[in-house]
């Protein structure tokens, strides 16, 4: 801050409608705290934006004073790029409007919104957009990286339902991007992350869902995992798009439908969401119930909004998190064996590996239709290192890296950009594959000085 002209902060505070915080101000430390407790940074300025005008002012301020920019949406940000040292943190969390037009089945969503906010409004009209699997996830970051969840096999990626955005670009101007307006920018932001500007409004297409779905969990002992995952692989070939089944390997949490003696035992759980007619749910999930002899199961009709919150207790803020991820086309036998072996050496009871099943409608879009290219991916495999004690950093990170390395021979080579940690800048090319060069050209046009670089960065040139 010593390099800032005298009075510059005062001028910004006077101009902004939202709060402008600096070190020592009440609320500063809370505003800089993010979901991943491994990240502890101190911005020079935090602009808690009340609207698009504040975003524009913050972008101009950062550019004019040659300060790095970090952009915080409404959710997790595993990589920690939502907060920076000594720069400008553009905090979107106060911008939490969700407006549903049930007649046109569209949603207008501000960037501080979480999945719970969108689901709560849209489900009042029996509508939804394919989002993620945890209600506290931020819609903005999820969308800009691609976005997938329980509804993706049926309706596609989150970006497949994005109709338009309002976005403040590096020159501080507010632009509208859609298939008709600034189509090159619209192409780039659908998967290109925060490289091209700060989105201040998302417009989504909605689809009929719920409000009641059929779903739940089937939990098997780890010694049945290999046989169960092989059968699961076979069932995927005929599984309807309305059915999403994810596999999670970890130690059993204290779920109320599991006997106390099962708690803490290694397990594989199949998490199930059937979004078709709930009356057809039991038949749709019958094959998953028969994958083995379960420790326990909890299946039945429930509100879609309740299912979206089912895993929130496993992803509360304040823990230390380190992720490593691969895109997977098929569950090869060697990969299954690798994952089971990894669960036998867990360094923390919170660590887990999940196989997020995508496929279905997500595969029916051309890889070059938008920035996100991984249309042949059947699973996003995520090695989720999670623990509380900083003394466990080395062991948990080492475990995550080893599982990642051991699983690499069975991967497609690509990666879902939202699951990348900050250290993985060398994988940005793999995240975008055949679309990378076109993204570089878009970056040259909309952010030639690379103002928006505190992210999984696409550089505008050498």
Tell me what the pLDDT averaged over the chain comes to: 96
246 lies in some domain: yes
So what's the pLDDT on residue 423?
83
To the question of pTM greater than 0.85 for the whole model, the response is yes
| Residues 288 and 388 occupy one common structural domain | yes
Of 70, 91, 112, the last residue of a domain is 91
319: helix, coil or strand? Answer: coil
The percentage of residues in the chain with a pLDDT greater than 90, rounded to a whole number, is 95
| Residues 283 and 408 occupy one common structural domain | yes
Of 91, 113, 128, the last residue of a domain is 91
| Residues 251 and 151 occupy one common structural domain | no
339 lies in some domain: yes
The domain that holds 26 is classified in CATH as: 3.30.43.10
108 lies in some domain: yes
| Residues 263 and 201 occupy one common structural domain | no
> Is the predicted pLDDT of residue 199 greater than 80, yes or no?
yes
User: For residue 283, what are the domain limits?
Assistant: 212-419
Token pair recorded at residue 22:
């600096």
- pLDDT bin (cut points 50, 70, 90) of residue 119 is very high
pLDDT (tens digit per residue) in 352-392: 999 999 999 999 999 999 999 999 999 999 999 999 999 99
> Is the predicted pLDDT of residue 174 greater than 80, yes or no?
yes
181 lies in some domain: yes
| Residues 264 and 413 occupy one common structural domain | yes
44 lies in some domain: yes
- pLDDT bin (cut points 50, 70, 90) of residue 76 is confident
The domain that holds 243 is classified in CATH as: 3.40.462.20
Q: Residue 281 belongs to what H/E stretch?
A: helix 281-289
Interhelix angle 393-407/333-343, rounded to 10 degrees, is 170
So what's the pLDDT on residue 1?
47
The percentage of residues in the chain with a pLDDT greater than 70, rounded to a whole number, is 99
DSSP 241-253: TTEEEEEEEEEPP
So what's the pLDDT on residue 366?
98
| Residues 361 and 284 occupy one common structural domain | yes
| Residues 281 and 142 occupy one common structural domain | no
| Residues 317 and 270 occupy one common structural domain | yes
462 lies in some domain: no
| Residues 221 and 344 occupy one common structural domain | yes
| Residues 47 and 157 occupy one common structural domain | no
- For range 338-359, the mean pLDDT: 96
- pLDDT bin (cut points 50, 70, 90) of residue 138 is very high
Token pair recorded at residue 411:
């991967």
> Is the predicted pLDDT of residue 101 greater than 50, yes or no?
yes
CA dihedral 269, 270, 275, 279 (to 10 degrees): -100
For the chain, the maximum distance between any two Cα atoms, rounded to a whole number of angstroms, is 70
- pLDDT bin (cut points 50, 70, 90) of residue 103 is very high
Distances in Å between the Cα of 88 and the Cα atoms of 60, 64, 77, 83, 350 are 11, 12, 17, 8, 33
| Residues 144 and 280 occupy one common structural domain | no
Number of independent structural domains in the chain: 3
Of 91, 107, 126, the last residue of a domain is 91
- For range 331-344, the mean pLDDT: 97
Burial class (CB in 10 A: 0-12, 13-18, 19+), 279: exposed
| Residues 380 and 232 occupy one common structural domain | yes
């Amino acid at each position: 801050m010593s390099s800032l002209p005298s009075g510059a902060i005062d001028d910004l505070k006077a101009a902004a409608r939202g709060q402008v915080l600096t070190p020592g101000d009440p609320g500063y430390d809370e505003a800089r705290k993010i979901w991943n407790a491994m990240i502890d940074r101190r911005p020079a300025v935090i602009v808690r934006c009340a609207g698009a005008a504040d975003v524009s002012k913050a972008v101009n301020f950062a550019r004019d004073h040659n300060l790095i920019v970090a952009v915080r949406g409404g959710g997790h940000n595993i990589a920690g790029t939502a907060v920076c040292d000594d720069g400008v943190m553009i905090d979107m969390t106060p911008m939490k409007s969700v407006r549903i037009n049930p007649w046109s089945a569209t949603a207008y969503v501000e960037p501080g919104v979480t999945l719970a906010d969108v689901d709560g409004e849209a489900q009042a009209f029996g509508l939804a957009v394919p989002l993620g699997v945890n209600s506290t996830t931020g819609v903005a970051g999820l969308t800009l990286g691609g976005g997938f969840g329980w509804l993706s096999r049926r309706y596609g990626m989150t970006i497949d339902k994005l109709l338009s955005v309002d976005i403040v670009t590096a020159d501080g101007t507010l632009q509208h991007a859609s298939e008709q307006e600034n189509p090159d920018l619209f192409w780039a932001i659908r998967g290109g992350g925060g490289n091209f500007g700060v989105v201040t409004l998302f417009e989504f297409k909605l689809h009929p869902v719920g409000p009641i779905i059929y779903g739940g969990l089937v939990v098997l002992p780890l010694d049945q995992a290999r046989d169960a995952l092989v059968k699961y692989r076979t069932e995927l070939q005929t599984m309807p798009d309305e059915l999403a089944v994810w596999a999670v390997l970890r130690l059993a949490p204290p779920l109320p439908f599991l006997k106390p003696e099962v708690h803490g035992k290694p397990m594989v759980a199949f998490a199930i969401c059937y979004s078709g007619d709930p009356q057809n749910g039991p038949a749709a999930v019958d094959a998953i119930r028969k994958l083995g002899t379960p420790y326990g199961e909890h299946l039945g009709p429930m509100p879609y909004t309740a299912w979206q919150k089912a895993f929130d207790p496993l992803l509360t803020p304040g823990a230390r998190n380190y992720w490593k991820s691969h895109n997977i086309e098929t569950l090869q036998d060697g990969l299954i064996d690798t994952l089971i072996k990894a669960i036998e050496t867990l360094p923390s009871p919170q660590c887990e590996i999940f196989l997020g099943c995508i496929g279905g409608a997500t595969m029916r879009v051309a890889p070059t239709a938008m920035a996100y290219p991984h249309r042949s991916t059947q699973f996003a495999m995520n090695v989720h290192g999670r623990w509380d004690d900083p003394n466990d950093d080395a062991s948990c990170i080492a475990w995550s890296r080893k599982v990642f390395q051991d699983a690499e021979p069975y991967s497609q080579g690509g990666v879902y950009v939202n699951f990348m940690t900050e250290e993985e800048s060398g994988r940005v090319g793999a995240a975008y594959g055949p679309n990378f060069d076109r993204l570089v050209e878009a970056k040259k046009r909309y952010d030639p000085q690379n103002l928006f670089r505190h992210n999984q960065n696409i550089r505008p040139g050498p």
